[in-house]
Structure 1
Amino acid sequence: MRSQGPERFRHGFQALGSMSKFTRTGGSSRTDLSRVAIQKSPSLLDERLGVYRNKIAQNDIDVMLKQHQAFVEQRVSGVRAHFKLCELSNLDLSGAVLASADFTGAKLHNTLLRGADLRMTNFYAADLAEADLMHADLTAADLRGAILRGAVMISCNLTSADFRNGTLALARNGELVSVQSSSEADLSKAVIMRATLSKARLSDSFVMQTDLRDADLRGSILVKANLSDSNLTGCDLTSCDLTEANLEGANLEGAIMTGAILRHANLKGANLIGAILDGVDLTLANMEDVKTIEQLAGMEESLADMLTAHAKWIETNGGAGKQLDLSGKDLTGMDLSRMTLSAGIFRGAVLRNANLSRSALLMADLSSADLRGANIRNANLRGARLIRSMMVGADMTGVLASPINIQGHDWQTNMERARLGKAILVGADLTGANLTGADLRQAQIRNVSIKGADLTDANLTNADLRGVDFGKCKLSNTKGLPDMDNLESDD
């Protein structure tokens, strides 16, 4: 229910609390389809709100869904679904077409809504605690004041969704009475991995301890939002407004925060290792105990000594020396070419414009590392971990990234969700590599060996794919794939 003033409330909630109505398109007649369901199942008292909810049986809902789909398709028989203050918990609405339906104040605990079409649907002050919304489309949905505590929203489309404040009120004895105890949208402990929330409005929302790994939050408004202890690993927060947001204890490892606004934001104890902070002003943010990039000058041991100890560790199979660990260190522009760095740990390190050409990086961990513009030509990356690494514009010509067999086990090179836009991979060997969710837009991938690679959810839009054989690759939901018959070798 959209409420922007007393008059809007008065008109919008007059009938709220009476039986749900369906409005037939193309006319003013109303068909009351909920009456039959109510006769079968009496209204239930919601003690939290102090109101009665209409209990609707699954078979009656199935009829309503068919009529609402006709409404969405603009057919004459279409009837818009109204579920105001209805009890819909534990029902199966998977794949349902419910775009523009009205669920104001409805209760949908543990309801299955997987893959449902919920575009522009009104969930104002609805209770969706622990609902399953995986892969649902909630574009421009009204979720003001909604409870989504513990909901599963993996890979949801929440573009332009509204999560701002909203208080449910009912008309009683001619007066509006608030019946909702909290006005903040509650997404605490929800699982929203890989969801699209670009341009969503989340100001003042409660997102504490929420799993937002790899979510797309570009351009979202998160003013005063409570994101404390949330997992924002790999999130795209480009141009987000996080003014006065609470990010205390949040994990932002590998997050893209380019151009984000963090005025008076609370980042106490947050993890910013590997985060991209280009154009971000942190002068007014609370940076107490923040984990961030470290300069080599502050290390007790010199880099040369560390490299010598690591080479000895490799030669003796760990019997002597010390494994190289440069996690979270600033190695910008460093010359590490032709070095033995196998099994080294560079998690979240800044290697921007560094020279790693012809280096041995077998089984190395470069997860969430910043390798933008780096020279990685002809490097050996077999079995390496490059999960969420930022490699935009990197020169990876001729890299070897096929699996490596160690004690009978094949270790694949893992580039899951790596950012490889405009990277040069000409002549590289990516046989069997894990490129799930990788961004390869405008990359040069000419004559690359990629047999058996996993490209599920990868983006190859405008990439140069001449001479590439995608035989035996996993290509589920891969974007930007051309007609394979038109791919010719670049001789």
Structure 2
Amino acid sequence: MRSLLDMARAAVDLPGSPESYRLVTLDALGHTASGLELVSGTEVAVADLRSVLGRSATELSRHRLSLQRLGVVAIEGEAARTVALLDGWRLIRSHGRQADLASADLRGADLTGADLIGSDLSYADLQGAWLDSANLRGARLRCTDLQGASLRCASMFGADLTEADLRRCDLRHSDLREATCAGVALRGADTWAAYVWEVDFSSAFLEGCEIGRADYRGADSKPAGARS
């Protein structure tokens, strides 16, 4: 799995050792003691950024602040110099394949058409996110919060959606074939023409979800005994 810092280094040509760099969530800076504003080339004391520096999405999301705006900083002794400012959502759309995005705060993110094949989004917060036509084939979405997200025409073929929250999701024309859906919450989700071949919904929560509108071609039978 590639970290968020690995993804940033793929997007920006950074010289030297990767150990010299960290990411900072720009939205978090107003929550530091100094309330810093960073622009490219800014140099600040590492101590002023210590609580908001990190390499992974998990580290950067620990304050429950958005990953939409990111800064890449070079650590030079006790100083940190800003070397790049990035659109976090665009970064994930372009470089999200096989990415470690566990516990990422991506509420409302625009990830339309994102390449997230084999990525780990377990426990991530994607409430209200836009994932239309995204490729989540084989992704880990265990306990991921996707309430109200738009996944129209998204591919989740073979994805692990164990105990994921897809309440009120737009799943029209999405591909859920061979996905693991144990304990998944689909209450109020729109599954019209979604491909659900070989999917076991026996432990899913389907109240208010018209799962019968999905496409079952090739499946042995439609789900029975789904939990409400």
User: What TM-score does the superposition give when structure 1 sets the normalisation length?
Assistant: 0.31
Alpha-carbon displacement from aligned partner over 1:51-88 (angstroms, at most 9, x marks no partner): xxxxxxxxxxxxxxxxxxxxxxxxxxxxxxxxxxxxxx
1:299 is displaced (CA, Å) by 7.2
Q: Could you tell me how far apart the structure 2 residues matched to 1:398 and 1:485 are?
A: 23
| Corresponding position: 1:437 with 2:173 | yes
Given candidates 342, 347, 359, the residue that maps to 2:66 is: 342
Would the alpha carbon gap of residues 416 and 343 (structure 1) be closer, same or farther in structure 2, given more than 3 Å must change? farther
Is the 2:196–2:214 contact (alpha carbons within 8 Å) kept by the matching residues of 1?
yes
For 2:25, the equivalent position in structure 1 comes to 308
Secondary structure class of the residue paired with 1:346: helix
For 2:12, the equivalent position in structure 1 comes to 297
Q: Could you tell me how far apart the structure 1 residues matched to 2:189 and 2:159 are?
A: 18
Partner amino acid, structure 2, of 1:365: D
Alpha-carbon displacement from aligned partner over 1:205-225 (angstroms, at most 9, x marks no partner): xxxxxxxxxxxxxxxxxxxxx
Q: Could you tell me how far apart the structure 2 residues matched to 1:363 and 1:313 are?
A: 20
- Count of residue correspondences: 171
Given candidates 119, 130, 140, the residue that maps to 1:374 is: 119
1:450 is displaced (CA, Å) by 0.9
Is the 2:124–2:145 contact (alpha carbons within 8 Å) kept by the matching residues of 1?
yes
1:335 is displaced (CA, Å) by 3.8
Would the alpha carbon gap of residues 303 and 352 (structure 1) be closer, same or farther in structure 2, given more than 3 Å must change? farther
Equivalent residues in 2 for 1:60-459, closer than 5 Å? 295-298=10-13, 304-305=22-23, 307-312=24-29, 335-340=56-61, 342=66, 344=68, 345-347=88-90, 348-402=93-147, 412-459=148-195
Alpha-carbon displacement from aligned partner over 1:141-190 (angstroms, at most 9, x marks no partner): xxxxxxxxxxxxxxxxxxxxxxxxxxxxxxxxxxxxxxxxxxxxxxxxxx
Q: Could you tell me how far apart the structure 2 residues matched to 1:314 and 1:417 are?
A: 38
Alpha-carbon displacement from aligned partner over 1:279-320 (angstroms, at most 9, x marks no partner): xxxxxxxxxxxxxxx9323379x9735x332433788xxx95
Partner amino acid, structure 2, of 1:381: L
Where does structure 1 lack aligned partners over 5 or more consecutive residues? 1-293, 323-333, 403-411
Is the 2:167–2:188 contact (alpha carbons within 8 Å) kept by the matching residues of 1?
yes
Secondary structure class of the residue paired with 2:58: coil
Alpha-carbon displacement from aligned partner over 1:365-398 (angstroms, at most 9, x marks no partner): 2111111111111111111111111110011000
1:425 is displaced (CA, Å) by 0.5
Looking at both structures, which has the greater relative contact order when contacts are Cα pairs under 8 Å and sequence separation is at least 6? Answer: 2
Partner amino acid, structure 2, of 1:465: F
Equivalent residues in 2 for 1:469-480, closer than 5 Å? 469-475=205-211, 477-480=213-216
Please state which structure has a larger fraction of its residues in strand. 2
Partner amino acid, structure 2, of 1:297: V
Would the alpha carbon gap of residues 314 and 373 (structure 1) be closer, same or farther in structure 2, given more than 3 Å must change? farther
Is the 1:358–1:377 contact (alpha carbons within 8 Å) kept by the matching residues of 2?
yes
Where does structure 2 lack aligned partners over 5 or more consecutive residues? 1-8, 40-54, 69-87
Secondary structure class of the residue paired with 1:349: helix
Secondary structure class of the residue paired with 1:390: coil
Is the 2:206–2:226 contact (alpha carbons within 8 Å) kept by the matching residues of 1?
no
Would the alpha carbon gap of residues 444 and 314 (structure 1) be closer, same or farther in structure 2, given more than 3 Å must change? farther
Is the 1:338–1:357 contact (alpha carbons within 8 Å) kept by the matching residues of 2?
no
User: What TM-score does the superposition give when structure 2 sets the normalisation length?
Assistant: 0.64
Would the alpha carbon gap of residues 354 and 471 (structure 1) be closer, same or farther in structure 2, given more than 3 Å must change? same
Alpha-carbon displacement from aligned partner over 1:441-466 (angstroms, at most 9, x marks no partner): 00001111110011112111112322
Please state which structure has a larger fraction of its residues in helix. 2
Is the 2:205–2:227 contact (alpha carbons within 8 Å) kept by the matching residues of 1?
no
Alpha-carbon displacement from aligned partner over 1:1-42 (angstroms, at most 9, x marks no partner): xxxxxxxxxxxxxxxxxxxxxxxxxxxxxxxxxxxxxxxxxx
Secondary structure class of the residue paired with 1:418: coil
Secondary structure class of the residue paired with 1:337: helix
Partner amino acid, structure 2, of 1:346: W
Would the alpha carbon gap of residues 320 and 399 (structure 1) be closer, same or farther in structure 2, given more than 3 Å must change? same
Q: Cα RMSD (Å) of the superposition?
A: 3.1
Partner amino acid, structure 2, of 1:425: L
